[in-house]
Structure 1
């Protein structure tokens, strides 16, 4: 059965849900919600695979977050790896289950780098791993889920260079919050854009309306849009500030429908079909 709605990016396997994961899953079933649960290193990617193997309608995305290479900060939800990164380890993880539908979240993040780390060295490490994900994705015919923060100029340059070499990159920018000008550059590269509960937050008085994320939602082609929770973070209104979960993605769809002056069903149907096409989930539809 085709789900009503797909949360294209969550962390359903994180410890934040260890006490009530079954209840979270039951709410997903009640709302006909599927989710792609996303790893951030080898350890969390393995947990994502385990969750995808256990729960129907849950699929795994595996890979290394760019902060894995430049930050020693450790989130309680993201235990660090004990073994070093290598492209061989990435490939091994990515071929370990039929429930793996993408690589990531990979990309560039210049926001958080360890004090004392040479910035150019940090950028080099992240870029090298990002290219690894692109190349492994090409080899295994898997799309890439891209995280980018304060690094879009370099990201766009790298993607354009790879495409110029003949790479066919199937990618989505997760948690997009940029301007329409930036969105156009990413769409021109053939990427999808995915939106979180941030779209339900009221604009600040100081925000430039023309640069606001709402303008992107109003203007962008619907066939390149996906929606997500990034759970357990970024809960939409009316749950802002609380723990997020995949079934809350409907609130993202409702806000997008309002901004585009269309029905919630149209947004659900379009973004669900986009996610099915992007992640090739049709093989899991009964």
Structure 2
């Protein structure tokens, strides 16, 4: 039997209108209570705000995704103003972070300007007393931890996290949350992370419309997939699946103040 759950990280504004309609119609049947819909830039933030105004199950987060060209001064200023203006409508600042994959494709890209932009968003999260949703994997994660500690931001959610054991322990000690995607069903690295990370700081996500392999190959990414993630977490943690449902649902509600 499935229980209520929340998709802790989805780019809902990036789906087609028909796909969004289908997903919203399905949510009740699959007991998906809410979608934390993250943004990639100012236009994306505006779309997510509009979607949230249409359906209260969509919980928007506003930010600038790092795996793209840096925003200009005007867009960054407008983004900060948008966060201030709509702080009561948003559940978090995000998605923000550092461009790990972009730098693999373009090794000449300098990371320092991205760190400066991230510093702005971390300060915004602190000022507005909002959680922050982070794209920070492998070698970037310690840099982000430094920024969070610098600004005393503790409500941090590292989505689809990957990193070394030392950083994982640092994040656990700091009380940061992570979330795993449906790739946990076939990625041993993510399965190991589930073993190591505390259940009371764990959430589940789809990162849709990002596509997956394994049992989800050639399928449109749908929040219903996270039920499979819950079942696997229960197997890995060797605890009843009902407990995993209750704990992860509670973690997400508490973290996002839902």
> Structure 1-normalised TM-score?
0.80
Matches within 5 A, 1:129-140: 129-140=117-128
Instruction: Structure 1 unaligned segments of length 5 or more: list them.
Output: 71-80, 204-211, 282-286
SS of aligned partner of 1:276: helix
The residue number in structure 1 matching 2:234 is 257
Instruction: Render the CA deviation track for 1:138-175: whole Å, top value 9, x for unaligned.
Output: 111111100024542xx424533552x45233101101
Query: CA RMSD for the aligned pairs?
Result: 2.6
Instruction: Render the CA deviation track for 1:229-260: whole Å, top value 9, x for unaligned.
Output: 00111447532342202222111111111111
Verify the 8 A CA contact 2:67 2:102 in the aligned structure 1.
yes
1:88, distance to aligned residue in structure 2 (A): 4.8
1:89, distance to aligned residue in structure 2 (A): 2.7
* 1:232 pairs with 2:212: no
* 1:20 pairs with 2:8: no
Structure with the higher fraction of residues in helix conformation: 2
SS of aligned partner of 1:233: coil
The residue number in structure 1 matching 2:98 is 108
Structure 1: distance between partners of 2:154 and 2:103? 27
Verify the 8 A CA contact 2:38 2:48 in the aligned structure 1.
yes
Q: Which shifted more, 61-70 or 129-138?
A: 61-70
In structure 2, do the counterparts of structure 1 residues 222 and 97 end up closer, same or farther at CA, with 3 Å as the change threshold?
Answer: same
In structure 2, do the counterparts of structure 1 residues 49 and 156 end up closer, same or farther at CA, with 3 Å as the change threshold?
Answer: same
1:102, distance to aligned residue in structure 2 (A): 0.5
SS of aligned partner of 2:206: coil
Verify the 8 A CA contact 1:235 1:245 in the aligned structure 2.
no
SS of aligned partner of 2:13: coil
* 1:194 pairs with 2:182: no
Verify the 8 A CA contact 1:232 1:244 in the aligned structure 2.
yes
Structure 2: distance between partners of 1:202 and 1:145? 22
> Structure 2-normalised TM-score?
0.88
Structure 2: distance between partners of 1:22 and 1:114? 36
1:111, distance to aligned residue in structure 2 (A): 2.2
1:179, distance to aligned residue in structure 2 (A): 4.3
Matches within 5 A, 1:25-104: 25-33=24-32, 34-70=34-70, 84-96=74-86, 98-104=88-94
Verify the 8 A CA contact 2:136 2:144 in the aligned structure 1.
no
The residue number in structure 2 matching 1:171 is 156
Verify the 8 A CA contact 1:236 1:251 in the aligned structure 2.
no
1:219, distance to aligned residue in structure 2 (A): 2.9
SS of aligned partner of 1:99: coil
The residue number in structure 2 matching 1:7 is 7
Q: Which shifted more, 250-259 or 181-190?
A: 181-190
In structure 2, do the counterparts of structure 1 residues 60 and 138 end up closer, same or farther at CA, with 3 Å as the change threshold?
Answer: same
Aligned length: 255
SS of aligned partner of 1:59: strand
In structure 2, do the counterparts of structure 1 residues 9 and 166 end up closer, same or farther at CA, with 3 Å as the change threshold?
Answer: closer
